Structure 1
Amino acid sequence: MSPPASARVAAAHPAFVERATGRELDDWLSYFEPDAVVLTGTESARRATSALRRVTDAGTIVFDPNGHDPVRGPRRVDGVEFVFAPTLADLDDVPETGPAYVLSGLLSLDVDRAALSTALAGLDEYRAALEQGSDTDGLVHLSTGLPEGYAREWDGLSVVGAGAEAGVGDRPLVAFDCRPDGLVLSNTLKPSRLGLRALDGVGDTRARRLREAGYGSREAIAAADPTELAAVDGLGESSTERIVESASAVVDGRVVRRSDAPLPADDPVFVDIETDGLSPTITWLVGVLDGTPPDGTYRSFVQRDPDDPGGAIREFLSWYDAEADGRPVVAYNGWRFDFQVLGDHVVEHCPELEPIWDAMDRFDPYRWAVEQDNAVLPGRTNKLEDVAAALGHESAGTGLTGAAVARVYRAWMDDRSPETEPDWDRFETYCEDDVRALATIWTALDESGRVVSATSTDAGDGTTQGTLSDW
C-alpha cells in the first residue's frame, strides 16, 4: 500500500530557534525533515528567520507570519495545496473550494478565567475576509496563535492549532503532516532530546561542559577515551560510562546491553492492539506477528461490530490457546497499555477465557530495557517507531497514529454509515507495521547478548496508564 501524500510543516517558537545551537537546529530539522518551517509567536522574528534560512535547504519554505516580508499566497507543497496568509488581506487568495490548508497567525485563544470559557480571538474578522470570495468546505485553518493539540469546528470552519509555544522551555517541538484529504497528524519531540541532551544523563549544564571540553557531538562522545571524558568537570566514572553507552547506541544504531538479565527462552509472539481511546471500552484489533520481522506471519483479529466488544480478544486467545500455548507474548510498553487493557477486557467481556490469559507469559521490552535499566536503546526517543527506525526498520508509511485510529473508530461507533466506516485494510497495515517494528527491537535485544531464562518473565500488573500519542 502506497502511503498517502502529505506535506510536513514543522513549527517552533523564535525563542527556541534563537537559543538552540547550530547542531541542535540541524538535529531538529533532520528528525522531522519538514517541507516548510513556520515560526510561532506574536512578533517579528528576524534573527530566528535568518538562523533558519542558514540551516535549511533552498527548497524548504520558512514562514514568519509576523515578519517584515513574509512568504504569502498559494503554494503547492509536496503535492498539497497551501495558502500562506500573514494578513487578513491574504485570505483573498484562498481558493473557492478545498482541499487546501490556510496557514496564518490570525487566530488565537481568548481565555476568560473568571467564566471558565474560551473564545477564538480574531474569528469574526477572519470569517468576514474569507466570505468575500471562498467557501469554507474542504479548508483546514492552521494558526500559529493556537497550541498544538487544538482542533475544533467553529460553525463549519475547521481550525487546528499550529503550536503557539512549540519549543518554549521543554514544551514539545511539533511537526504536522498535512494530507490532501484534510487529515492533520502531529509529531512531537522535546527540545531536551536534541544534540548532546539526547544522551542519557546529559542536561543543559553537562552539555555545555562537554562542548567546552571539545566534545560537541554525539559522534565525538561515542569515540572518546572514557578516561579523558571522565575528567570533564562534573562527570565521574559511572556517569561517563552511561553517557558513552548512550552515544554509542544512538550513533551506531544498535542496542547496548547494560546487564546479563535474561530474555524469555521460547520464540515470542508479538502483539499490538488498537482501541477506541485512552479509556478504552473496546479492543477492536489485535495484531499478531509469529516469526521474524521481515518474514513472520501476520494475523489480524478484527472486531468491526462495536456491539461485540470482546470479539477480537476471543479470536486472539482462541488462536493462542490452539497454536501458541506456552510461548511468551511480547508487547512494547505492554505493562502500561496493551496488557493492562487486554486483561481488563478479558475480565469484562470474555471471562470464560481468563484461565488462558492468566497462564500467559507476558514480556515488555520497554520495561526490561528502559525501566529496569538492562539495555540502552538507540532511538532519539524510546518510542517504538524511533527505536525501530534507528535499528533499520522501514516504516509502511501509513501516516497514522494510535490516537488518529482511535478517533476514527469512535466516529464509527457513533455512526455506522459508509461515510464513517474505517479503512480497515489501512488500519491493519498500520498495526502490522507496529508489530514488525516491535519484532525488530526484540531481535536487536536478543542479538545484543542473550542469556536464556528458565523462569517466567511475567512482571505482574501494577502499572500506570500510557498514552496513545506516546506509543
Structure 2
Amino acid sequence: MALDTSLDVLTIPATSLERVPQPAIRDAIRYFAPDFITIPGPRNPAALAAIQEATTDTPFTYPKLGRNGSHIQQFQYAPETGLTDATDNQSSESLIDILAVQNQDALSNLQGEIGNGTRQTGSERATFLIVPELSVDWDATTLSTTLPNKTELAAISSSLPEPVTVLAGGQPTEYYHEWDLPHDGSTETVPIAGLGATDHDKSKFARYSCTAHGTVAAESTDTTEFGLTALNGVGPSTAQRLRQAGCRTTDDVRDFAVSDLTDLPGIGRQTAEQIHAHADVIHSGDPLVVSNRTPVKTRDDRPPLCLDIETDGLSPTIIWQFGVYDPATDTYQAFIERNDPTDPESVLEAFITWLLANHGNRTLLTWNGYNFDYEYISQFLRQYRPEYADEWESMWTYDLYKWAVRDENALLPGRTNKLGHVAHALGYESAATGLTGAQTAAAYQEFMRHPDDRDHEPDWDRHKAYCRDDCEALWYVYQAITDAPRRDMTDSGSSGATGQQAGLTDF
C-alpha cells in the first residue's frame, strides 16, 4: 500500500564503522536493502575503507571526506532511474534531491550557488540536506536551545520551491523539530531530523524513509542486532567463541550442526538449538513456530480484526485515533478526534459503539496490545464510558507479540521484535507515510497546544494511512506465522557442517 514515492536511506555513523565487525556491516546493508547510505561523523579514512569493503552496489556519501575536491555533493532520485550522482549534472525529473555539505562552513557556499542559479535541485517535490556534524546547542543555564547556521539554513530553504528537510549528523535519530527561523522579515519553517544514530553508549544504525513530500521517518537499531549477536542466545562472549571456531556470519552458524555448537565452551544443548534454529530463520526470512499452541481463537470462521491506536504519548491523556482492519472484507475503519483534542470521550464512544454494535462477537488482535492498546482502552472506558467497560472486557482479545515473543512460541526474522521490523523481514511492503509512532504523538501534542490554529493540525490523511499500515502489517505477520510449519528446534547433529536442516522435524 505505497502512499508516496520514498527513498530509503541507511545511516552508518563513522564511529560505528570503527567498532562493528565487517560481517555485521554487510549484514545490516543486506537486511535494510537501502537505496542510499550516508556516513555522518568525523573524517576517518578507515571508516571509508570499511564501507567500500562492505558494499559495491549501494551508492553512499561520506560528506566529511568531500568528493573530488568538492565541498558539496548532490544526488537525485526518481523511481524510474533510481538514485544518481548529480553533483555536476542536475536532472529536471527527480522527485527527491539529496544535498550533502562537507561541513557547516560550506552552507554559505551552497546558499550562494542556489541564489545565483549554478546549483539547481531540479525537483519540485522534496530536498534533504545532510549536514554531517550539525548539532543543536543546549544552554543548561537558560534551558534554551540554539540552532547553529540558522541564517544559511533559512535562506537555503527559502530559495528552493520544494520542502527542505535538514538531516543533522550531530543529533540522535530520535530528534525531530520544526524550527521557525527568521528570514527577510518573515518566518521560514525548517524541519531538522537527527542523523547521528548513536547515543554515545552503544553503536547504532538507522533507517530513514524520506518521502517526496519532504517528510522523514527514522528508526535506529543497535548494531548488536546484526552479525553473530543477532542470534538469540549469542552475546559478545559467545560471538567471540563462534568466531574462534570459524563462524563469522549467521550463515556460518547455520552450516554447523547443533552437536558442533555444543562442543564450544559455555554453550549448552538448549542454547545451541535456539542459536541454530534462529540462524535458519534469519537465512530463510520465514518464521519458525516451535509449539503446538494456537496464536488466536475465534468464535466463527472469520479472521480476527486487527486493531491499532494512536495516542498523545506513552502515558496518554487521549486516544485520538482507533484503526481497525477487517481481513474478512478487506475494509478499514478509522475513528479520529479532529476537532477537540481536550475531549477524549467522543472518539472513544464512536469506536466502542461501532465495535460492539457491528463486531461484538469478533476476535481482536494487536501487537503488544496487552501492554498498551488494550490497557489504555480499558482505562479510558472505565474513566469516560463505564457503561461499556464490562462488554469490552468480554471481547476476545489476543496479542500476537505476547504469543510469539514473550511466550516464546515462535522465532521471527526481524532484527528487533518491533512490528515494522518483523513485517519488513517477512517481505511486507510498507506505506511510505514518513511517520513513526513518536512523530504521530508529537504531531497531536502540537495540535493540542494550538487547537484553534489550522496550521498546527496534523496531516490527517497521512496519520490515518500510518495507523492503517500498522493494522495491515499486523495481518501480514499473522498470516506468515499461521502459515509457517510447526517444528521443534532439535538437531540430531549427525550431518556435521552440512547438516543445517537435520532434525528440524514437523510435529
Deviation string for 1:204-228 (max 9, x for gaps)?
A: 2212222332333223333432112
Distance 2:482 2:7 in 1: 37
Q: Tell me if the contact between 1:86 and 1:105 (Cα under 8 Å) persists in the aligned partners.
A: yes
Deviation string for 1:251-270 (max 9, x for gaps)?
A: 22222233333434214222
Q: Which runs of 5+ in 1 are unaligned?
A: 451-471
**Cα separation, partners in 2 of 1:178 and 1:288, compared to 1, 3 Å:** closer
| 2:334 alignment partner in structure 1 | 300
| 2:327 alignment partner in structure 1 | 291
Aligned pairs for 1:71-90 (under 5 A) are: 72-73=71-72, 75-78=74-77, 79-87=95-103, 88-90=105-107
Aligned pair partner of 2:410 in 344, 368, 375: 375
**Cα separation, partners in 2 of 1:393 and 1:89, compared to 1, 3 Å:** closer
Q: Tell me if the contact between 2:174 and 2:219 (Cα under 8 Å) persists in the aligned partners.
A: no
| Offset, 1:366 | 0.9
**Cα separation, partners in 2 of 1:105 and 1:119, compared to 1, 3 Å:** farther
| 2:369 alignment partner in structure 1 | 334
Of 248-257 and 335-344, more deviation after overlay is shown by 248-257
**Cα separation, partners in 2 of 1:71 and 1:384, compared to 1, 3 Å:** farther
Deviation string for 1:126-165 (max 9, x for gaps)?
A: 3465688884785433332233333342634736354446
Deviation string for 1:378-416 (max 9, x for gaps)?
A: 212111122123333332333322222233333344235
Of 148-157 and 275-284, more deviation after overlay is shown by 148-157
| 2:127 alignment partner in structure 1 | 100
| 2:438 alignment partner in structure 1 | 403
Distance 2:434 2:383 in 1: 32
| 2:171 alignment partner in structure 1 | 146
Deviation string for 1:306-345 (max 9, x for gaps)?
A: 3542333323322332333343321101012111221122
| 1:48 alignment partner in structure 2 | 47
| 1:432 alignment partner in structure 2 | 468
Aligned pairs for 1:57-206 (under 5 A) are: 57=56, 60-65=59-64, 72-73=71-72, 75-78=74-77, 79-87=95-103, 88-94=105-111, 95-96=114-115, 100-105=127-132, 107-111=134-138, 115=141, 117=143, 119-120=145-146, 123=148, 126-127=149-150, 135=158, 138-152=163-177, 153=179, 155-156=181-182, 158=190, 160=192, 162-164=194-196, 166=198, 169-206=201-238
Q: Tell me, what secondary structure is at the counterpart of 1:41? A: coil
| Offset, 1:272 | 0.9
Letter in 2 for 1:92: N
| Offset, 1:418 | 4.7
Distance 1:394 1:132 in 2: 37
Distance 2:297 2:57 in 1: 52
Distance 1:37 1:256 in 2: 31
| 1:461 alignment partner in structure 2 | none
CA RMSD of the aligned region, Å? Answer: 3.2
| Offset, 1:348 | 2.4
Letter in 2 for 1:85: V
Distance 2:304 2:351 in 1: 15
Letter in 2 for 1:14: A
Matched, 1:21 2:47: no
**Cα separation, partners in 2 of 1:102 and 1:351, compared to 1, 3 Å:** same
**Cα separation, partners in 2 of 1:331 and 1:159, compared to 1, 3 Å:** closer
| Offset, 1:449 | 6.7
| 1:270 alignment partner in structure 2 | 306
| 1:386 alignment partner in structure 2 | 421
Distance 1:49 1:57 in 2: 12
**Cα separation, partners in 2 of 1:127 and 1:398, compared to 1, 3 Å:** closer
Deviation string for 1:394-452 (max 9, x for gaps)?
A: 323333222222333333442355544444343333222212221222233334478xx
Aligned pair partner of 1:214 in 246, 252, 267: 246
| 1:460 alignment partner in structure 2 | none
**Cα separation, partners in 2 of 1:132 and 1:427, compared to 1, 3 Å:** closer
**Cα separation, partners in 2 of 1:236 and 1:367, compared to 1, 3 Å:** same
Q: Tell me if the contact between 1:6 and 1:179 (Cα under 8 Å) persists in the aligned partners.
A: yes
| 1:229 alignment partner in structure 2 | 261
| 2:84 alignment partner in structure 1 | none
Distance 2:218 2:364 in 1: 30
Q: Tell me if the contact between 1:13 and 1:168 (Cα under 8 Å) persists in the aligned partners.
A: no
**Cα separation, partners in 2 of 1:364 and 1:58, compared to 1, 3 Å:** closer
Letter in 1 for 2:135: S
| Offset, 1:21 | 2.5
Distance 1:133 1:399 in 2: 22
Letter in 1 for 2:445: R
| Offset, 1:16 | 1.4
**Cα separation, partners in 2 of 1:40 and 1:132, compared to 1, 3 Å:** closer
| 1:38 alignment partner in structure 2 | 38
Q: Which runs of 5+ in 2 are unaligned?
A: 78-94, 183-188, 487-507
Matched, 1:363 2:379: no
Letter in 1 for 2:25: L
| 1:243 alignment partner in structure 2 | 275
Q: Tell me if the contact between 1:167 and 1:173 (Cα under 8 Å) persists in the aligned partners.
A: no
Letter in 2 for 1:288: V
| Offset, 1:274 | 1.7
Distance 1:425 1:380 in 2: 30
Distance 1:83 1:227 in 2: 52
| Offset, 1:119 | 4.7
Deviation string for 1:68-93 (max 9, x for gaps)?
A: 96763251432323332224145322
Letter in 2 for 1:40: P
Deviation string for 1:217-249 (max 9, x for gaps)?
A: 223333432112221232110110111121222
Of 33-42 and 15-24, more deviation after overlay is shown by 33-42
Q: Tell me, what secondary structure is at the counterpart of 2:320? A: strand
Distance 1:345 1:172 in 2: 36
Deviation string for 1:158-201 (max 9, x for gaps)?
A: 36354446285534322333334442321211101001111111
Q: Tell me, what secondary structure is at the counterpart of 2:374? A: helix
Distance 2:465 2:154 in 1: 41
TM-score between both structures, scaled by the size of structure 1: 0.82
Deviation string for 1:290-317 (max 9, x for gaps)?
A: 335xx63332233333354233332332
